[in-house]
């Protein structure tokens, strides 16, 4: 089964593995409803009780599938998180359907960090999820435009605080791929957790510099996405991806243009590939896989409550749970630590 950890100082626990449902919304491949339900059922049978979704994922399709599956379960037996910051709207030509394959061709998402936009988004999510409350509500990607940060502070966050005060939400969070903006949000004093993608992984522990210390100070838990850093921690090669960007000679420029985050000057495709391959070599020597190590690494730090893994079929669920349960040796972790392949500030006990 899967152990649980608390969110901040709240009376709310999540399983250490959560099911990320972007793949059930059709990213990066189409998943029919039958396979989606089998995936959800396998996750449930393996002990996963935390399900993370968002309106963006398939223009509401992931939320609909999660809601349809969970309606037969006892409400107190699972935790659901969804997100605000985008509204699903009717359209004649959906750009979203080109990314989330199999999603409605007459639906799309648009950014809206206003107070009213969040209230509308939350109401729509409850209807799709067939729920009367949500356990965790995340602010979703407020870094895609220079104005969104201030818009979120003036509108979205005030709405989120009101929803929590009314008992419609238990915990407030924010989902991002970068450390810097989350540091600023941590100072606001209203967040219980952050959904951080990619910055506290076996490969990249840059959140140890500023973000994790301020989260520890403010009792903010981390829910981790992107533990495989978009694929480089499964099979590192120039054909793999890091931060959703292919690791070719144009990686740095393409990442800057993508607005996922702003890369540091020392970063390059070769830098990350070399580091990943060094860690892979250690894994090979210890007769294990990079993927298994990537899944297990985060839990040494108590600030981490859960790792959300995107899974689109039962086989992936079974493999990930096996990798989670079959713990690696202390000698393996000590070797990585002693050879400075993980940050010296990392906790390994």
pLDDT-based confidence at residue 146 (cuts at 50, 70, 90): confident
How far is 15 from 37, CA to CA, in rounded Å?
19
Helix (H, G, I), strand (E, B) or coil at 144: coil
Amino acid 1: pLDDT: 87
Residue 280 CA: distances (Å) to CA of 227, 238, 241, 307, 339: 15, 15, 16, 21, 13
Has residue 11 got a pLDDT over 90? yes
Give tens-digit pLDDT for 29-71.
999 999 999 999 999 999 999 999 999 999 999 999 999 999 9
Question: pTM of the entire structure?
Answer: 0.96
Domain residue spans of the chain: 4-338
Other CB atoms within 10 Å distance of the CB of residue 153: 16
The mean pLDDT value for 146-165 works out to: 96
Helix (H, G, I), strand (E, B) or coil at 309: strand
Residue 316, class by beta-carbon neighbours within 10 Å (0-12 exposed, 13-18 middle, 19+ buried)? middle
Has residue 347 got a pLDDT over 90? no
Has residue 121 got a pLDDT over 80? yes
Give the single-character DSSP code of 305.
E
Amino acid 348: pLDDT: 79
Contact 52, 15 (CB under 8 A): no
The mean pLDDT value for 308-315 works out to: 98
The mean pLDDT value for 227-243 works out to: 96
Which residue, chain included where needed, has tokens 């892979």?
280
How far is 341 from 343, CA to CA, in rounded Å?
7
Give tens-digit pLDDT for 263-283.
999 999 999 999 999 999 999
How many residues in the chain? 349
Amino acid 293: pLDDT: 98
Two tokens, residue 76: 């107190």
Contact 162, 100 (CB under 8 A): no
Amino acid 101: pLDDT: 97
Give tens-digit pLDDT for 28-39.
999 999 999 999
Q: What is the DSSP secondary-structure string of 5-68?
A: EE-TTSS-EEESEEEE-TGGGTSSS---HHHHHHHHHHHHHTT--EEE--TTTTTTHHHHHHHH
Has residue 144 got a pLDDT over 90? no
Q: What is the DSSP secondary-structure string of 154-194?
A: IIIHHHHHHHHHTTSEEEEEEEES-SHHHHHHHTTS--SEE
Percentage with pLDDT > 70 across the chain: 100
How far is 203 from 186, CA to CA, in rounded Å?
24
Contact 156, 142 (CB under 8 A): yes
How far is 297 from 320, CA to CA, in rounded Å?
13
Architecture field, domain 4-338: Alpha-Beta Barrel (3.20)
Give tens-digit pLDDT for 181-215.
999 999 999 999 999 999 999 999 999 999 999 99
Two tokens, residue 292: 């298994």
Angle among Cα 66, 72, 76 to the nearest 5 degrees reads: 85
The H or E element that residue 208 is part of is none
- Catalogue the active-site residues: 52, 57, 83
The mean pLDDT value for 108-134 works out to: 98
Between strands 241-242 and 50-52, the pairing is unpaired
């Amino acid at each position: 089964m899967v152990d649980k950890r608390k969110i901040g100082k709240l009376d709310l626990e999540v399983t250490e593995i959560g099911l990320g449902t972007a793949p059930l919304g059709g990213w990066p491949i189409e998943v029919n409803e039958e396979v989606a339900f089998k995936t959800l059922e396998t996750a449930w049978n393996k002990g996963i009780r935390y399900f993370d979704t968002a309106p963006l994922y398939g223009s509401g399709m992931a939320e609909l599938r999660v809601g349809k599956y969970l309606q037969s379960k006892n409400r107190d037996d699972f935790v659901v998180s969804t997100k605000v910051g985008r509204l699903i709207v009717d359209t004649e030509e959906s750009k979203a359907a080109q990314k989330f394959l199999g999603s409605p061709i007459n639906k799309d998402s648009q950014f809206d960090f206003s107070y009213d936009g969040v209230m509308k988004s939350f109401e729509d999510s409850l209807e799709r999820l067939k729920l009367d409350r949500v356990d965790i509500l995340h602010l979703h990607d407020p870094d895609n435009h220079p104005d969104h940060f201030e818009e979120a502070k003036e509108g979205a966050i005030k709405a989120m605080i009101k929803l929590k005060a009314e008992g419609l939400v238990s915990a407030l969070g924010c989902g991002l791929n970068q450390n810097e903006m989350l540091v600023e949000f941590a100072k606001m004093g209203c967040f219980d957790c952050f959904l951080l993608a990619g910055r506290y992984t076996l490969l990249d522990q840059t959140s140890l510099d500023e973000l994790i210390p301020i989260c520890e100070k403010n009792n903010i838990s981390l829910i981790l996405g992107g533990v495989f850093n978009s694929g480089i921690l499964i099979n590192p090669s120039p054909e793999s991806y890091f931060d959703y960007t292919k690791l070719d000679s144009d990686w740095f420029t393409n990442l800057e243009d993508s607005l996922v985050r702003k890369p540091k000057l020392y970063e390059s495709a070769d830098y990350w590939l070399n580091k990943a391959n060094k860690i892979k070599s250690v894994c090979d020597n210890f007769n294990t896989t990079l993927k298994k190590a990537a899944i297990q690494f985060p839990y040494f730090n108590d600030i981490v409550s859960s790792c959300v893994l995107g899974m689109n079929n039962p086989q992936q669920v079974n493999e990930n749970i096996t990798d989670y349960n079959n713990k690696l040796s202390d000698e393996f972790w000590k070797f990585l630590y002693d050879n400075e392949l993980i940050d010296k500030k990392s906790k390994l006990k």
